[in-house]
Amino acid sequence: MNKTLLAGMLAALPGAMMAQSALDAYSVSQNDLRGSARFMSMGGAFTALGGDISTLNQNPGGIGVYRSSDLSATLDITMQSAKFRAGGMTNTENHTNVACNSFGYVGTVNLGSNSAMPFFNWGASYSRVASFDRRYRGSMGAIGTSLTNLVADYTSADGYTPGEMSFGDKYSPYLDSSAPWSSILMFQGGGISPLSPGSNSYTGLFDYNEKTGSTGSAAIDIEEKGHIDEYSINFGGNISDVVYWGIGFGITDIDYKTRAFYSESIDNAFAPGVDLNKEPTYTRGDAAYTLDNFKHIWGSGFNFKAGLIFKPVNEFRLGIAVHTPTYYNLSYEGGATMSYDYQAAAYNGEPYNGSVMTDEGYLDEFDWKTRSPWRLMVGAAGVIGGRAIISADYEYRATNDIKVQDFNGNDYRDLNEDVKTYYKAQNIMRLGLEYRVTPQFSVRAGYVYETSPVTQEAMDGYSMTANGPTANYVFTGGADDTETLPSYTFDKTTQYITCGLGYRYKNFYADAAYVHRSRKSKFSAFTDYNENSTGDLILAPTGSISDNNNSVVLTVGFRF
């Protein structure tokens, strides 16, 4: 497909051979604030602190702080709420998840007080570092365009004929042609129709004429599920109780599923003709269709971490940690169904309806690789009066350095350029406080601010140029133009507000945390685009998503 004319395909489904997109690569590269209750209640600002199981996933140098063995487990209860706003309407979806999101063990070896390295430590842990669980749905109200017009525009621009998108004897357009799967699906389902029999120019359902044109509405229902789990093995120690060091190896397991519905209802539409071999090839009527998309990505990866904590005096510490990218080997499967119903006088009162599937209902399957962002963390922590701790962290996450490859490890240059166009590096600030009320009880608080990983160019959707408004296309069809979901989301800022309590009795400890996460995202039904024939800017329907999750986290542990 001519990429300068393709106005973006859709971020949630099938593939032919290798259909992953830049948006897919970002989806599987996310991290949440997760760990023990103490870690989360202090906003994860532990780069310079250490001494907690969660530092095995953050700053491996934190394992060097241990002077005794540690065994702990964490339970997380999360109440999720996603509010979708569009067209003056709001809909909220709520659900609750309960899981054991972290457990681990740290063992210490005492090398003697006279040794330059009095302790050598090792540890292993399991942690759920990200959850994809989210559902949002709602009406987008009145729309001034249609996804079918976008598909018609780039299908015409690339010159695919009806014959190339039709099934024949031992011929499947999904497998045997180079046409985008969305073009084939829309053609089979009447979403796009040729302007004349055999023509390679097409019309969508929506008529832009101000006096006699179409009106329409759209609705969405999207559910995401899955997680990223990490199994960490770390080694570390301290040098003269001044420098604490650690190295770690992480093995990740990922499972990500999306089920998405996108519907349009259009009055006075260019409905498809009953017989494409006769004139006219389209007529006037009312049209409605729904895209039902399914996508599943799963696989595993590995990464390395290294870190140091420097304690020049007992009251002050500095920390630094570096994470390599996680190198993923992934598998993909996906498919789509389009159901449709057209009402027109030309049909003699009988509706023209039915459904079609990508590749005749078979899931597409392929393998691919991606590389998540590398990360750099620095932190400082101080002890005040022997009872209070204040800690601050900064993290640089190179989101614009995500890489996408085929299963042989060859870079997809266009997709990697898309990553740099859509995404930028993130800056993350963490602040944590702890005050020991008594030798047994502590109170804690924390705050996290994450900047948006999305460039302003991609977030805006279009730019003003000397030639007029120009769309900033978002390509989600993947390397082979085989994904078919029209919608995508771009995250804005994310914030965490946290607090918690801690209790210690001899070797036993119990911690509790409350974590509130607020994230805002922009939803686009499909990409903005400039029509190939007129150059007019077409703005896609958009909405906003507000995620407000509240978690209660409980950790119990034993040191010996």
CA 449 → CA 44, 267, 400, distances in Å? 11, 45, 19
387: helix, strand or coil:
coil
Q: Which of 19, 409, 93, 60 is nearest to 250 (CA)?
A: 60
Could you report the average pLDDT of every consecutive run of 10 residues in the chain (560 residues)?
36 37 88 94 95 93 93 95 91 90 92 81 94 92 93 93 90 90 92 87 90 89 94 93 94 95 94 64 87 93 97 94 96 90 83 86 78 96 93 96 89 89 96 96 97 94 86 81 84 97 95 96 94 89 94 95
CA 84 → CA 87, 133, 143, 404, distances in Å? 10, 15, 16, 30
Q: Which of 391, 240, 396 is nearest to 317 (CA)?
A: 391
Residue 327 and residue 301 in contact, taking contact as beta carbons nearer than 8 Å: yes
Residue at token pair 């998405």: 260
What per-residue confidence (pLDDT) applies to 5?
35
What per-residue confidence (pLDDT) applies to 379?
97
Peptide bond into 194 cis (omega under 30): no
Phi and psi torsions of 164, nearest 5°? -70, -20
> How many beta carbons lie within 10 A of that of residue 345, not counting itself?
10
What per-residue confidence (pLDDT) applies to 117?
84
In this structure, what DSSP letter does residue 171 have? B
Please provide the size of the chain in residues: 560
What per-residue confidence (pLDDT) applies to 15?
31
Kindly give, in sequence order, each residue whose CB lies less than 8 Å from that of residue 403, ignoring residues fewer than 6 positions away. 25, 325, 370, 371, 411, 416, 419
**HEC profile of 249-276:** EEEEEEEEEEEEEEEEEEEEEEEECCCC
In this structure, what DSSP letter does residue 31 have? -
What per-residue confidence (pLDDT) applies to 230?
96
Distance CA 247, CA 60 (A): 5
Distance CA 9, CA 18 (A): 15
Q: Which of 127, 113, 123 is nearest to 62 (CA)?
A: 123
What per-residue confidence (pLDDT) applies to 20?
66
Phi and psi torsions of 526, nearest 5°? -165, 180
Please give the structure tokens belonging to residue 238.
Answer: 């301290």
pTM (two decimals): 0.88
What per-residue confidence (pLDDT) applies to 170?
87
Residue 57 and residue 125 in contact, taking contact as beta carbons nearer than 8 Å: yes
What domains, with CATH codes, occur in the chain? Answer: 22-559 (2.40.160.60)
- Cβ-count burial 170-199 (b if 16+ within 10 Å, e if not): eeebbeebebbbbbbbbbbbbbbbbeeeee
